Amino acid sequence: MGAKEKRLGQILDKYYVRSNSKVVIKDILNSNYQSEILDVYTQLDGVRENYNFRGKWDFVFKDFILELDEEAHFNRYRALTLTSSLYDEISYFPINKYKDFCKTYEDKCLKKGYGKYWASTSTEKMFGPSDLPKSFVRYGSSRWKQRAFYDYVKDVSYLYTGIPVVRLSIYDQFQINGKELSLEQLLVKNNLSDEYIFTQLTSLIAERKPL
């Protein structure tokens, strides 16, 4: 768990109740949504016999799930997943904003384009070989593809479980005392109280949940 995720958890835990129930995600892989999910997996160069999901949630609360998306979550592969027609059924998802983040901030993602952030034995088993770090000559990054696919499966799991998945990005913007600050800045500023930050977050969380 990174510092920003830990800080967010400290704030949210004061106001939301965590759930001990386990939300099984991988069941959706073989549900009525399998055809569309497999199509996205294939577009990401996924290897059919290794079609699977092994991700975990950031925060599971009583009536919704929350994911914090940092630099590694915004790139060309995540943008590809956002073209899936299943997002038409998730009206509360900030699809245009997330597409913009993928286009605007891939360079931030690329700063971690090395080591396990780029490729590993397990990611290449799922998505085939990778190019050299920070290179997109032919294959690109198997780890980026895996992360994009896992984020996609988490998003569409709502259609199967009925449990909303709220995404917050470190690039989300807030008006604070006449200045625009990102969520990342809110989480690292030590002069802002937990209560104040939570007040800023509540409206955004409400916007990203179904009515």
User: pTM here?
Assistant: 0.95
Burial of 4 (0-12, 13-18, 19+ CB in 10 A): middle
**pLDDT, average across residues 18-36:** 88
Q: What is the pLDDT of residues 114-143, one digit of tens each?
A: 999 999 999 999 999 999 999 999 999 999
**What is the rounded average pLDDT of the residues 105-114?**
94
- CA-to-CA distance for 144 and 71, rounded, in angstroms? 11
pLDDT surpasses 90 at 20: no
User: Which residue would you say has higher pLDDT here, 191 or 31?
Assistant: 31
Whether residue 160 is predicted with pLDDT greater than 80 in this model: the reply is yes
- Per the listing, tokens 């917050």 go with 168
Residue 61 has a pLDDT of 95
Contact 142, 123 (CB under 8 A): yes
pLDDT of residue 77: 98
**Got the DSSP string for 50-67?**
G-------SEEBSS-EEE
pLDDT for position 1: 72
If you average pLDDT over residues 171-176, what whole number do you get? 94
The mean of the pLDDT values for the chain is 94
**pLDDT for residue 22:** 78
pLDDT band per the 50, 70, 90 thresholds, residue 192: confident
pLDDT digit string, tens, across residues 53-89: 988 899 999 999 999 999 999 999 999 999 999 999 9
pLDDT of amino acid 25: 84
Query: What is the DSSP pairing of strand 65-69 with strand 165-169?
Result: parallel
